């Protein structure tokens, strides 16, 4: 899959449109193949800054800084990246009650059987789901208003929310790679 | 660094750095010593006391700087803390925030953890900072005046050698909800 192929992926376009519809103050992330098209679209957007972090835990800090100032912030990482960041997620997002949105590509699904992803998914289920609200979606078939709806939930709950996107058998193109 | 007793305290170094600005910047401090000494140096609604994990203040400050581009932001990190999030310096270089600076207070110990020595105690933080930000944007606090600081481009790193404190700073006495509410009001003002 080429870079141009990522950028033209329908899942990436749809996710970007949903992100833009939420009018975020910033978006931050560390790339995953399934997020590449969306990240490139965010980085090119004139409507909000995209902050490319060197490490996923930083993303939680960046989002927390924006949320502390009352702005909407979105994090985009792979499941393994969120696992690296649980201390920050707990001590900033949960402790301060910050309503940011974390988009996680939940690799290692039935339709995404890379051997190196399987344990990440199992650790995600064991480690993340007990401590935070996770809503699961097909990466190739989610509602256009997903991100605005996630912010409404997070702002009502006064806590961060996690959207787990995965490849599903029989689904459409989806966010690729 | 043989005689540490002649160095300023962390509290005084923080106060000196804040006084470099013509108007009070947002100050984002790491958990433990930095938050305690920032509050002891002077509580202000624009102070954001980060509750962890260690080292995250630079990343939180970057997010704040991105959504408040017309305000100055100062992240306050200890040497032990910054070493835990050294990659944030690379991220900040890439993001190029024109309103963010970092004050590194180097006391060579984990002050909140029985003053156990940090693994970076012999490291040349000025050289590290200059590798990331360049010589013109990384300097010692003792070499700065308000006039010189006004001409320094951001992002920038200020290195302050400080004396280890004989005791921990006073407790914050603030709940996370109190910190968030007060800071939110200041950030929206």
Residue-by-residue DSSP string for A24-68: -SEEEE---GGGHHHHHHHHH-SSS-EEE-SSHHHHHHHHHHHHH
Tokens at residue B29, please?
């401090």
Q: Do B184 and A68 touch (CB under 8 A)?
A: yes
Residues of B in contact with A52 (CB under 8 A): 91, 94-95
Distance between first and last Cα of chain B? 43
Q: Using one digit for the tens of pLDDT, what is the confidence trace for A25-45?
A: 999 999 999 999 999 999 999
Question: CB contact, 8 Å: B52 with chain A?
Answer: yes
For B48-96, write each residue's pLDDT tens digit. 999 889 999 999 999 999 999 999 999 999 999 999 999 999 999 999 9
Q: Which residues of A touch B56 (CB under 8 A)?
A: 57-58, 60-61, 64, 88, 92
E-strand spans in chain A?
26-29, 50-52, 73-78, 101-105, 134-138, 161-166
Q: Measured between alpha carbons, how far is A98 from B69 in angstroms, rounded to an integer?
A: 21
Which residues are CB-contacts of B88 (< 8 A; sequence separation ≥ 6)?
A53, A54, A55, A58, A61, B55, B58, B59, B62, B82
Chain B contact probe: residue of A62, A67, A71, A85 with most B CBs at under 10 A? A62
Of A52, A65, A71, which is closest to B94 when you measure between CB atoms?
A: A52
Closest-CA distance, B60 to chain A, in angstroms, reads: 4
Closest B-chain CA to A73: B63
- Separation of alpha carbons A18 and A165, rounded Å: 14
Q: Residue A4 pLDDT more than 50?
A: no
Whether B21 has a pLDDT exceeding 90, the answer reads: yes
> Any idea which of A27-41, A76-90, A160-174, B22-36 has the lowest mean pLDDT?
A160-174
pTM of the model: 0.95
pLDDT at B107: 95
Q: Domain A3-166 belongs to what topology?
A: Rossmann fold (3.40.50)
CB contact under 8 A, B66 and A65: yes
Where do the domains of chain B lie, and which CATH numbers do they carry? Answer: 4-188 (3.40.50.970)
Q: Which residues contact A11 (CB under 8 A, 6 or more apart)?
A: A34, A37, A139, A140, A172, A173, A174, A175, A176
Contacts 24+ apart (CB under 8 A), B113-117: B115/B164
CB nearest A96 (choices: B66, B85, B176): B176
Nearest to A92 among B56, B64, B94 (CB): B56
What are the structure tokens assigned to A127, written together?
């480690």
For A97, the closest of B52, B65, B180 (CB atoms) is: B180
In b/e form, how buried is each residue of A70-98, taking b as 16+ CB within 10 angstroms?
A: bbbbbbbbbbbbbbbbbebbbbbbebbbb
For the stretch B120-155, pLDDT in tens is: 999 999 999 999 999 999 999 999 999 999 999 999
| Alpha-carbon separation of residue A15 from A53, A112, A141, A153 (angstroms) | 20, 19, 10, 18
* ipTM for the complex shown: 0.96
Q: Which residues contact A115 (CB under 8 A, 6 or more apart)?
A: none
Cβ <8 Å between B188 and A49: no
Mean pLDDT of A81-107: 97
Residues contacting B83, CB < 8 A, separation 6+: B55, B118, B119, B120
Distances (CA, A) of B147 to A34, A158, B175: 49, 43, 37
């Amino acid at each position: 899959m080429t870079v141009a192929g990522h950028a033209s992926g329908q899942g990436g376009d749809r996710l970007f449109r949903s992100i833009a519809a939420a009018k975020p103050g910033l978006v931050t992330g560390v790339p995953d193949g399934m997020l590449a098209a969306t990240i490139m679209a965010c980085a090119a957007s004139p409507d909000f800054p995209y902050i490319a972090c060197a490490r996923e835990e930083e993303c939680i800090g960046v989002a927390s800084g924006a949320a502390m100032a009352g702005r909407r912030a979105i994090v985009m990482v792979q499941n393994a990246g969120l696992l690296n960041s649980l201390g920050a997620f707990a001590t900033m997002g949960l402790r301060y009650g910050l309503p940011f949105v974390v988009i996680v590509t939940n690799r290692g699904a039935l339709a995404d059987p890379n051997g190196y992803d399987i344990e990440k998914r199992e650790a995600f289920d064991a480690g993340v789901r007990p401590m935070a609200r996770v809503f699961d979606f097909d990466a190739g078939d989610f509602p256009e208003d997903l991100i605005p709806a996630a912010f409404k939930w997070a702002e009502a709950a006064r806590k961060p929310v996690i959207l787990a996107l995965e490849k599903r058998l029989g689904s459409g193109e989806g966010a690729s790679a | 660094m043989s005689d540490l007793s002649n160095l300023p305290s962390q509290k005084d170094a923080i106060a000196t750095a804040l006084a470099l600005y013509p108007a009070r910047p947002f100050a984002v401090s790491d958990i433990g010593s930095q938050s305690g000494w920032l509050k002891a140096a002077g509580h202000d609604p624009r102070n954001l006391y980060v509750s962890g994990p260690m080292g995250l203040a630079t990343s939180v400050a970057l997010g704040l700087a991105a959504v408040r581009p017309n305000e100055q932001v100062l992240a306050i990190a200890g040497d032990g803390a910054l070493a835990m999030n050294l990659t944030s310096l690379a991220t900040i270089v890439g993001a190029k925030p024109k309103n963010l600076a970092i004050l590194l207070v180097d006391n060579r110990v984990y002050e909140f953890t029985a003053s156990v020595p940090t693994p970076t105690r012999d490291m040349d933080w000025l050289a590290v900072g200059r590798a990331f930000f360049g010589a013109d944007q990384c300097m010692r606090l003792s070499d700065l005046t308000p006039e010189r600081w006004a001409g320094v481009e951001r992002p920038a790193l200020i290195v302050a050698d400080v004396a280890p404190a004989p005791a921990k700073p006073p407790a914050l006495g603030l709940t996370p909800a109190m910190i968030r509410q007060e800071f939110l009001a200041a950030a929206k003002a």
